[in-house]
Amino acid sequence: MKFVHIADMHFDSTFLNLSDKDIMGDLRRLEQRKVFKKIVEYIKQNKIEYLFISGDLYEHKYIKQSTIEYINNLFKEIPKTRIFIAAGNHDPKIKNSYYNKFNWNENVKIFNSVIEKIETDDCYIYGYSFDDFYCEGCDIENIEIEKNGKYNILVIHGNLDGAKEDDKPYNPISRSLLEEKGFDYVALGHIHKLDYNTYENQKIVYPGSTISLGFDELGTHGMIVGELNNGLKLKFVPLDDEEFVKRKLSVDNMYSKEELIESINEMNINSNEYVEIILTGRRNFEINIYELQKFLQNNRIIKVKDETKISLDLEKIANENTLRGLFVKEMMERLEKETNSEERNILERAIEIGLNALE
């Protein structure tokens, strides 16, 4: 049997944290559609029998009916492929969700909030859906898998070995328990990082987010294609044509904003890259990120982040018997007490602005 496994598409995400550029959200939403169409075309061409979607297919708070209809119309194009959806924490199967109120195509099965087992010609497929935005467990320990020659597959959204307090509301699942149960494949969702070939004979898999949702999801994104036939064969197929990358740029030897703007505009950036520039080093002039953005010529540069440090000898200035010496001394005392890195950066900027005003 052949299958495709995806998760964490997040259709109609707002992408609010991606960029100050309004168009970026629209572009990524269009790219979501493009990638989903690629998945369906791949399924058609390769006669894939099963599609497993392990949660967060869409954003419950923002999803439009037109997007649901778009997804379902694509499902209609692959009527011989059986589609199994396990709702996650962003698309829970709550009362007013589209999983409940929309008339999905007949080849689509959406699991309920009690673990279900569906028998097909060649396998048993188990699944569970969130029925709220949080879930602290789903009774996996009570599953008894079949041992009659058919494959056993689990489709679920959850946090594998989630030991931290923040992990507990998102269906923490024990890897050792899953291995003990003996599933032939576990199709996971929730973690946006690809995890499918990190150890030998891996059967418990995160495909990662289907497209990158931002600069905290670098690298390639796509789907897992698998085959169960006297063993498990897996491969990762990239789908997202765009790639989010971070580039560092040192300002140590720059002495004006004009020099910085020229350096950024001369950077070699590929046409399929969305780039975040991270400024590093010791700055010799004030850097205003918002003003800087106005002069950038390459629209592939989405964000600029300032991680530079002030280049002045603050200890020397603090020993001056001047107004600026008293100012720096007091600010440095506050810096020494502050442990939060973000607050320290704000204080350093305040020193720089204050010194410029006192010149």
Are 146 and 223 found together in one domain?
A: yes
8 with 105, same domain?
yes
Domain, as residue range, for 206: 2-238
The set of residues, in sequence order, having a beta carbon less than 8 Å from that of 317 and lying 6+ positions away, is: 324, 325, 328, 355
Give the single-character DSSP code of 4.
E
Which of 217, 238, 259 is the last residue in one of the domains? 238
Distances (CA, A) of 191 to 3, 162, 342: 20, 11, 27
Same domain for 291 and 319? yes
- Say if residue 251 is in the same domain as residue 344: yes
Distance CA 272, CA 229 (A): 37
The residue ranking higher by pLDDT, 136 or 192, is: 192
Q: Which residue has the tokens 């001369």?
A: 266
Measure the CA angle with vertex 29, ends 25 and 33; round to 5°.
170
Predicted pLDDT at 230 = 87
Contacts of 107 (CB under 8 A, 6+ apart): 75, 78, 79, 80, 81, 82, 83
Question: Mind listing the pLDDT tens digit for each residue in 235-284?
Answer: 999 999 999 999 999 999 999 999 999 999 999 999 999 999 999 998 88
Q: Which amino acid is at 124?
A: Y
Which DSSP symbol is given to 9? -
Q: Is the domain of 144 the same as that of 18? A: yes
What is the rounded distance in angstroms from the CA atom of residue 4 to the CA atom of residue 41? 12
Kindly tell me the sign of the dihedral angle through the C-alpha atoms of 92, 94, 96, 100.
positive
Same domain, 223 and 289: no
Is residue 346 predicted with pLDDT exceeding 90? Answer: no
Where helices occur in the chain by DSSP H, the ranges are: 23-46, 65-76, 98-101, 175-181, 257-265, 289-293, 314-318, 323-337, 341-358
Average pLDDT in the 296-302 region? 91
The region of weakest confidence among 89-98, 107-116, 140-149, 206-215 is 140-149
Whole-structure pTM value: 0.87
In the predicted model, is pLDDT for residue 340 greater than 90?
no
Q: What's the Cα-to-Cα distance from 44 to each of 1, 92, 227, rounded to whole Å?
A: 15, 28, 16
- Confidence (pLDDT) at 347: 85
pLDDT band, very low/low/confident/very high, at 151 (cuts 50, 70, 90): very high
pLDDT the model gives residue 163: 56
3-class SS at 241? coil
262 and 283 assigned to the same domain: yes
**What percent of the chain has pLDDT above 90?**
71
With the CA atoms of 188, 194, 195 and 196 taken in that order, what torsion angle do they form, in degrees rounded to the nearest 10? 90
The residue among 194, 212, 238 that closes a domain is: 238
Q: Which pLDDT value is given to residue 136?
A: 86
* CB-count burial class (<10 Å; 0-12, 13-18, 19+) for 298: middle
Same domain, 86 and 160: yes
> 212, 238, 264 — which closes off a domain?
238
Q: Is the same domain home to 118 and 224?
A: yes
Same-domain check for residues 214 and 264: no
Pairwise pLDDT comparison (233 vs 285), residue with the higher score:
233
Cα torsion 152, 186, 209, 7: sign:
positive
Q: If we measure between CA atoms, which residue out of 158, 118, 153 comes closest to residue 138?
A: 158
Rounded to whole angstroms, the Cα distance separating 151 from 224 reads 18
Residue carrying the six token digits 């999803």: 63
Q: How confident is the model at residue 293 (pLDDT cuts 50, 70, 90)?
A: confident
pLDDT grade, residue 20 (50/70/90)?
Answer: low
Q: What is the DSSP letter of 212?
A: -
Q: How many domains does the chain have?
A: 2
Q: Concatenated DSSP letters for 142-181? A: G-----SSSEEEEEEE-EET--SGGGTTB-EE-HHHHHHH
- The verdict on 134 and 250 lying in the same domain is no
User: Are 131 and 34 in the same domain?
Assistant: yes
Average pLDDT, the chain: 92
pLDDT digits (tens, 9 = 90+) for 46-82: 999 999 999 999 999 999 999 999 999 999 999 999 9
**In what helix (H) or strand (E) does residue 227 lie, and over which residues does it extend?**
strand 222-228
> How many angstroms separate the first and last alpha carbons of the chain?
74
Per-residue confidence at 314, pLDDT binned at 50, 70, 90?
confident
